[in-house]
Amino acid sequence: MIQVMDLSKSYDQNEVLKHISLTIPAHQVVAVIGPSGSGKSTFLRCLNGLEMITSGAITVNNHHLNATESKKKQQKTIHRVRQDTGMVFQQFNLYPHKTVIENVMEAIIVVKKQSKEQAKTIASQLLKRVGLQEKEDVYPSKLSGGQQQRVAIARALAMEPKIMLFDEPTSALDPELVGEVLKVMKELADEGMTMVIVTHEMRFAQDAADRILFMADGQIVEDAEPKKFFSDPSTERAQKFLAKVNEF
Ligand SMILES: Nc1ncnc2c1ncn2[C@@H]1O[C@H](COP(=O)(O)OP(=O)(O)OP(=O)(O)O)[C@@H](O)[C@H]1O
Ligand SMILES: [Mg+2]
């Protein structure tokens, strides 16, 4: 579903991603972990074209993006990649002046070109799926952070993505609200969604992911099964990281 070939990304002279190559098959759930500044968000943003890549190539659901191609051609590909990927951020970015259901309907009407009635039916089903059928007509400001994030997930799902990317979806939440969001994500994973999740929730990564990518200094330092990674990391870098995480 995703193939990354020798991907590098620089900001000016600063090389933030260094020669990353990997393949993610359909239905796989990948957790990306690693220290702050290691390039996790940048990697995710390259995957759906929020950042232009400096060199290398990425294939997402058969859309081929190559850094050697013209910007125009890349933009075209990115447009298609975006249609197939849903992204959920730490900040929920809901429209404050739209109700919950209107927030979810927006993409269905604008991008999927469905009628208002159709959009309403689909949005309603999606809100049910994330456990928010009661909140359809409420404004986001009246929701808890966990509820807002679940709306954001429903909104991303409205595009019928083949892949869901999450960048620290629970980091801005009060601890007691983290579980409800992780539960929705776990359900998505169990339904077979291909997912790449940047997270600091080690327990979740261990329970829900099929695979751990440990990043440091712009590289994938370990690529392992969760069980192996958490019980017996191969590198000193990962051992140190896990020791630090476990202090808290
Ligand atoms: N738009 C940008 N312009 C310049 N440098 C950037 C930009 N975005 C990120 N960087 C740099 O790239 C590096 C990787 O950043 P990135 O946000 O990918 O890290 P991260 O692993 O997601 O960190 P965190 O866990 O803190 O979110 C950092 O050194 C950062 O300063
Ligand atoms: Mg980040």
Q: What is the mean pLDDT of residues 35-56?
A: 96
What pLDDT, on a 0 to 100 scale, did the predictor assign at position 246? 79
96 Cβ neighbours under 8 A, 6+ residues apart = 139, 140, 141
Measured distance CA(104)–CA(155) in Å, rounded: 4
Cα 37 to averaged position of ligand 1 atoms, centre (Å): 5
Measured distance CA(113)–CA(128) in Å, rounded: 22
DSSP 131: T
Is the CB of residue 37 below 6 angstroms from any atom belonging to ligand 1?
A: yes
What pLDDT, on a 0 to 100 scale, did the predictor assign at position 164? 98
Measured distance CA(164)–CA(188) in Å, rounded: 9
Cα 135 to averaged position of ligand 2 atoms, centre (Å): 30
Q: What is the mean pLDDT of residues 25-51?
A: 97
Measured distance CA(177)–CA(72) in Å, rounded: 42
Question: Predicted confidence band at 245 (pLDDT cuts at 50, 70, 90)?
Answer: confident
- The string of pLDDT tens digits covering residues 81-132 is 999 999 999 998 999 999 999 999 998 999 889 999 999 999 999 999 999 9
pLDDT at 30 over 80: yes
Residue whose Cα lies nearest atom 31 of ligand 1: it is 37
What pLDDT, on a 0 to 100 scale, did the predictor assign at position 106? 94
Q: Which fold has domain 2-245?
A: Rossmann fold (3.40.50)
Cα 133 to averaged position of ligand 2 atoms, centre (Å): 31
**Which structure tokens are listed for 199?**
């997270």
Atom of ligand 1 nearest to the CA of 215: 21
Question: Contact, 22 vs 41, CB < 8 A?
Answer: no
- The string of pLDDT tens digits covering residues 134-189 is 999 999 999 999 999 999 999 999 999 999 999 999 999 999 999 999 999 999 99
Question: Predicted confidence band at 247 (pLDDT cuts at 50, 70, 90)?
Answer: confident
Predicted model pTM: 0.95
What pLDDT, on a 0 to 100 scale, did the predictor assign at position 189? 95
What pLDDT, on a 0 to 100 scale, did the predictor assign at position 118? 96
| Mutation pick for ligand 1 pocket among 40, 198, 199 (CB with most ligand atoms within 8 Å) | 40
**Mean predicted lDDT score pLDDT of the chain:** 95
Measured distance CA(205)–CA(183) in Å, rounded: 12
pLDDT at 197 over 90: yes
**Domain range annotation of the chain:** 2-245
Question: Contact, 135 vs 103, CB < 8 A?
Answer: no
| Mutation pick for ligand 1 pocket among 42, 52, 244 (CB with most ligand atoms within 8 Å) | 42
Nearest Cα to Cα of residue 147 among 157, 158, 136, 159? 136
Q: What is the mean pLDDT of residues 21-35?
A: 97
pLDDT at 248 over 80: no
